[in-house]
Amino acid sequence: MNVYEQLAQVLTKVKKITVLTGAGISTASGLPDFRSRGGLYDNDLNLESILSESYFNMNPKLFWKYFKDIFRFDAIGQYEPNPGHQFLKELENMGKEVTIITQNVDGLHRKAGSTNVLEVHGALDTAKCPKCRQNYGMEHLLKEEIPRCEKDGYILKTDVVLFEGRVKHMEEAYTSTCETDAFLALGTSLNVFPVKELPSYIRNASHIAKVIINKEPTMSDGMFDIVIHEDIVLVFNQVKPYIAK
């Protein structure tokens, strides 16, 4: 039995599936991978300083200029879910209870139709006024270079979790991880705290199938039953025929 058949067997057998996704699942949609070789961290821009609570508080105007450039707001409407996102929705359509814990801020899991998505690092397509807490969507964020609240003129703050900020939905993420039948880590190097801790909570849970698919090896590979160092879309395309049988 090859590794694709093994994965198909797991996905066919289980009812509850918890999926942790990182930048690697969105690269096929054209989005940059921040931490991989050749990603944005490889250039001279100090992203951790710019994408921080401190930087936003000190210079919100310049923050938004950098923020929109880093996340390519000029092409934001071009990004669409790829077969990796769609495969997870297909599992849901098969009657599986799929919970997606994503480190990504691109909203592509929601766009693909997945219904239970925990965006632990927030989302690009929303922002709120620091003063009145009014929420705004992407249409408003694209109107002006520096988006402001229509009520009081305050510069909006992105809903993306910035460095020095607190991640979201971690309690639900821990619960879903511990109560699942299968845990899939997709396109993540498992380097970012606290999300990187999730596999360790189920390391000794023999009743939970643990799978990691990432192009490059990670320090956490030893915690998983099935380890695949390939492109996610390629893997899912290989898996599909076995699930269909």
Catalytic residues, which ones? Answer: 121
CB 118 within 8 A of CB 100: yes
CA atoms within 13 A on the CB side of 85: 26
For 55, 138, 164, 169, 186, the CA distances from 157, given in Å and listed in that order, are 12, 13, 14, 19, 29
What is the maximal distance between C-alpha atoms in the chain?
63
CA distances from 3 to 22, 48, 62, 160, 242 (A): 21, 37, 48, 36, 11
**Number of separate helices (H) and strands (E) present in the chain:** 10, 9
Listed in sequence order, the residues at least 6 apart from 211 whose beta carbon sits closer than 8 Å to its beta carbon are: 7, 10, 182, 183, 184, 185, 224, 225, 226, 227, 228
Output the 3-class SS for 131-172.
CCCCEEEHHHHHHCCCCECCCCCCECEECCCCECCCCCCHHH
Cα–Cα distance measured from residue 118 to residue 150, given in angstroms and rounded to the nearest whole number: 29
